[in-house]
A and B are shown apart, each in its own frame.
Chain A
Amino acid sequence: MNKEAAAILINGDVSPSKKKLLDHIYGLFELSEIKEPQQLLNIHPLTSKYVFVSLGANFLKNNIWEEWSKKSSRAMRYIFLLESFDSKEVASLINNLEPLAVLGPNSTVQELNEILNMSRESARDSVKSRETLEKVKQQNRQLEILNQNLEALVRDRTRDIEVSKNQIELKVKKVRQLVSFVKSLSTVRKIEDLLTIIRNEIKKAYGKGEAFLACDTGEYGPWILHFQRGETATVQTKNRWNTGVKLRINDRKDQQYLANTFSRPFGRVVAFPLQSKATDSRDVVLFVEHQLSLEQVDAFIDYMGERLQSLSLALDRSLLEVDLKRASFLWESTFDSIDDPIAIYNKDHELIRSNKAFSEIIETVQKDKSFSSELIDTCIEKRVSVSRSFRAEQRFFDAHCDPILFHDDDRASSVVVHFVDVTNYKNLQSTMIQNEKMSAVGHLAGNIAHELNNPLTGIRSLCQVLIAEHSRREQVVNDLKEVEKAASRSQKIINNLLSFSQSATGSELKRVDLNQLLQMTLPLLKSVTSEHRRHFKFHEKEVLVKVEPHLTQQVIFNLINNACQAMGQEPGDLEVKICVQDNFAKFSVRDSGPGVSEELGSGIFEPFVTTKSKVGGTGLGLSMSQRVIRSMGGEIGFDSKLGKGACFWFQLPLDGETQ
């Protein structure tokens, strides 16, 4: 067994009991003897666990013990072997050193062993506790390190979070800006508003910068939308800007182009071509005049880049809106320019659309209740085109109703009603019918005329014979002459009727004096005019006209006869006048009869129009007269007011040298 190392200092004498102890100690330990107390200072606790200090009754009293006691390590275990306990110096030494044990003169080996065991135990314990302490310290240290790490981690993390939070806030702010931008774009309808939004956005982010929207729509040539004095304005340009699909940063040409267009110096310009899907034939560029440095420009471009897509979409919409408006306008103008009324109805008879022409007849249409039911309902039910005639005041229409079908098997949802104006056609038709009638009447008249000629011939011939046979009976002869004249007149009328119905131009035109013609006709009218006050005014000079004399006489006869008939049985004023007016010969007959109502108007010259049905007017006189006069290059007419008489006149072109 290895002995433990220890140190011993023997100072002073050793009593026999102490010797016993010492021997024991020598037996237990490997001792290193220390002669001088100073050497005690050199002892290291690791090399000597115990330091036995045997002090005689008179040990050295010098400062060395003081020094030694101060410098000595606490780890040293001192065991004092003393002769007595009484000394004051020993007491202070013990106080300073706090030895493990102090053995007196009577201490036994047993006691020493006990002390050593106890010390060993306590050493062991203390080692243990030291070890534990160490462990704890170590653990503590580790915990500290861990703690520090954790703290660092937490700090880092916190810092990271802070940073991300800031970043996120920034991003959120950016996104909010973008969202509000896109929102404001979604409400844009007009291109001008679009530019305003762009401009505001740029100003918001960068404070300064001017935006220009350059658009080449093809139809009206290139134009640039810009801001002028707080409002949007358009400038038509002759030249086109530089086209390109790519972004152009600070391109000199763009700058130059804009400077030329706006006649002012321009700063640096960035050009953003706006891709438009719906408008591939269009070229739209957003120019931004900026005052940014090169570094700022990049950020600006990113900023704009985020917005370009929504811009393009909004632009599309606005341009489409413009197109739509134009197309709508074109459609409306076209629709309205159609002369025929067109209306679109839904199946509930509600008017969906109609053109301008329709507004003229809409009231009449709405009044006609059967219109909706007959036309629209039938059309919708049967899904075929339906037509019917329709009349609005003086106009005649053929209303064609066509169904609008979306699917072959569905009921029609709405119908288009097209009113074809057939007024002219109808008028033409009636004129034709009238002409046919006239023609038929003419034929008929021709036949009747021939038929009448026979008996009239007979009457006249018999009169002539009777006149010859009873030549001496004046009264009878006179009467017979009247009869013959009447018959003769009748024949003349019939002949005129014949020529009217044949409308043959067999009759020759002759140059006659209108005065004379009137003169020749007057005797025929003697009886008719005798009742009334007559005023005949011939023109002082010859009035030469180229006419068919017989027919013209007939016209004169007609007019005067009519005038007298109009005045009836009451004596009235008859004025017959021939004069010359601007190269025309004018013949007029004025009566003081009841006059002609304005309602009749020019209709009075229509055949079969007569106010004389009781008196036996055939209604052919005026129409025939009109025909005759017109065929000779003249015109016929009348002036009249109800209650104020009438003046019928005709005029004929003068022939040659009338003055």
Chain B
Amino acid sequence: MKILVIDDEELVRKSLARACRARGFQVLEASGGAEGQELWENESPDLVFLDVLMPDLNGPKVIENLQGKITSKIVLMSAYTGGYDLNKAKSLGADLFIPKPFENIFEIVQVAEALVVGK
């Protein structure tokens, strides 16, 4: 499985990537919205971990830009629980919403995996 992690926070990105690789998945990383969007378009990953708030292009914007061009499962992540919840995420086009902080990173990976597998 090909996974794309788009998050401007390095530690989050790295740990998510390593946790996924430990599960044997191929992981691509992008540190910003623009970079992420490009990679997404070119690599067509099965699953994308997408952070909402990013300095250049934010998550929802990326989804919007790639409307119709992608078929990946999207997991939206955010520290701002106030503005977003599952319904909102879905309305934006995401499949799952995970609030930060993560209690257990491996659980996150499991949930995401289940999403893809249960396709």
Could you list which residues of chain A lie within 8 angstroms of chain B, going by C-beta atoms?
450, 453-462, 464-465, 468-469, 491
Contact partner of A453 (CB less than 8 A), chosen from B16, B19, B101, is B101
Give A475 Cβ to nearest chain B Cβ, in Å. Answer: 21
The 7 closest A-B pairs by CB, nearest first: A458-B11, A461-B15, A453-B79, A462-B15, A457-B101, A461-B105, A458-B12
Q: A461-B105, A464-B105, A469-B22 are in contact. Are A454 and B100 (CB under 8 A)?
A: yes
Hey, which chain A residues are within 8 Å of B22, CB to CB? 465, 468-469
* A462 and B100 form a contact (CB under 8 A): no
B18 at the A interface (CB under 8 A): yes
Binary interface encoding of chain B residues 84-114 relative to chain A, with 1 for a CB under 8 A from any of its CBs, else 0: 0000000000000000111011100000000
List, sorted by A's number, 19 A–B pairs whose CB atoms are closer than 8 Å.
A450-B80, A453-B79, A453-B100, A454-B100, A455-B9, A456-B101, A458-B10, A459-B11, A461-B11, A461-B12, A461-B16, A461-B102, A462-B14, A464-B19, A464-B104, A464-B106, A465-B14, A469-B22, A491-B101
Hey, which chain A residues are within 8 Å of B11, CB to CB? 455, 457-459, 461-462
Interface majority SS (helix, strand, loop, mixed), chain A: helix
Could you list which residues of chain B lie within 8 angstroms of chain A, going by C-beta atoms?
9-16, 18-19, 22, 79-80, 100-102, 104-106
Interface majority SS (helix, strand, loop, mixed), chain B: helix
Contact partner of B105 (CB less than 8 A), chosen from A453, A455, A465, is A465
Hey, which chain B residues are within 8 Å of A450, CB to CB? 79-80
* A464 and B80 form a contact (CB under 8 A): no
Hey, which chain B residues are within 8 Å of A461, CB to CB? 11-12, 15-16, 19, 102, 105
* A465 and B101 form a contact (CB under 8 A): no
Hey, which chain A residues are within 8 Å of B106, CB to CB? 464, 468
Contact partner of B19 (CB less than 8 A), chosen from A454, A458, A465, A491, is A465
Give A34 Cβ to nearest chain B Cβ, in Å. Answer: 191
Q: A458-B9, A459-B11 are in contact. Are A469 and B18 (CB under 8 A)?
A: yes
| New A-B pairs, 11, CB < 8 Å, besides A457-B11, A458-B10 | A453-B79, A453-B100, A454-B9, A458-B11, A460-B105, A461-B12, A462-B14, A465-B15, A465-B22, A468-B106, A469-B18
Q: Specify which of B14, B100, B102 lies most central, judged by the most chain A CB atoms within 10 Å of its CB.
A: B100
Give B6 Cβ to nearest chain A Cβ, in Å. Answer: 14
Give B15 Cβ to nearest chain A Cβ, in Å. Answer: 4
Chain A residue, CB-CB nearest to B17: A465
Hey, which chain A residues are within 8 Å of B18, CB to CB? 462, 465, 469
Hey, which chain B residues are within 8 Å of A457, CB to CB? 9, 11-12, 79, 100-102
* A458 and B15 form a contact (CB under 8 A): yes
Give B84 Cβ to nearest chain A Cβ, in Å. Answer: 12
Chain B residue, CB-CB nearest to A487: B101
Chain B residue, CB-CB nearest to A494: B101
When chains A and B are docked, how far (Å) is the Cα of A260 from the Cα of B118? 117
* A460 and B102 form a contact (CB under 8 A): yes
Q: Specify which of B13, B80, B101, B104 lies most central, judged by the most chain A CB atoms within 10 Å of its CB.
A: B101
When chains A and B are docked, how far (Å) is the Cα of A453 from the Cα of B78? 10
Give B14 Cβ to nearest chain A Cβ, in Å. Answer: 6
When chains A and B are docked, how far (Å) is the Cα of A357 from the Cα of B44? 83
Hey, which chain B residues are within 8 Å of A464, CB to CB? 15, 19, 104-106
Chain A residue, CB-CB nearest to B16: A461
Hey, which chain A residues are within 8 Å of B104, CB to CB? 464
Give A432 Cβ to nearest chain B Cβ, in Å. Answer: 26
Q: Specify which of A456, A458, A461, A468 lies most central, judged by the most chain B CB atoms within 10 Å of its CB.
A: A461
When chains A and B are docked, how far (Å) is the Cα of A458 from the Cα of B102? 9
Give B9 Cβ to nearest chain A Cβ, in Å. Answer: 5
When chains A and B are docked, how far (Å) is the Cα of A409 from the Cα of B28? 91
When chains A and B are docked, how far (Å) is the Cα of A457 from the Cα of B18? 15
Hey, which chain B residues are within 8 Å of A459, CB to CB? 11
* A460 and B101 form a contact (CB under 8 A): yes
Give B38 Cβ to nearest chain A Cβ, in Å. Answer: 23
Give B51 Cβ to nearest chain A Cβ, in Å. Answer: 9
Hey, which chain A residues are within 8 Å of B79, CB to CB? 450, 453-454, 457
Hey, which chain A residues are within 8 Å of B100, CB to CB? 453-454, 457
When chains A and B are docked, how far (Å) is the Cα of A109 from the Cα of B65? 212
Hey, which chain A residues are within 8 Å of B14, CB to CB? 458, 462, 465
Give B98 Cβ to nearest chain A Cβ, in Å. Answer: 10
Give A468 Cβ to nearest chain B Cβ, in Å. Answer: 6
Give B56 Cβ to nearest chain A Cβ, in Å. Answer: 16
Hey, which chain A residues are within 8 Å of B16, CB to CB? 461
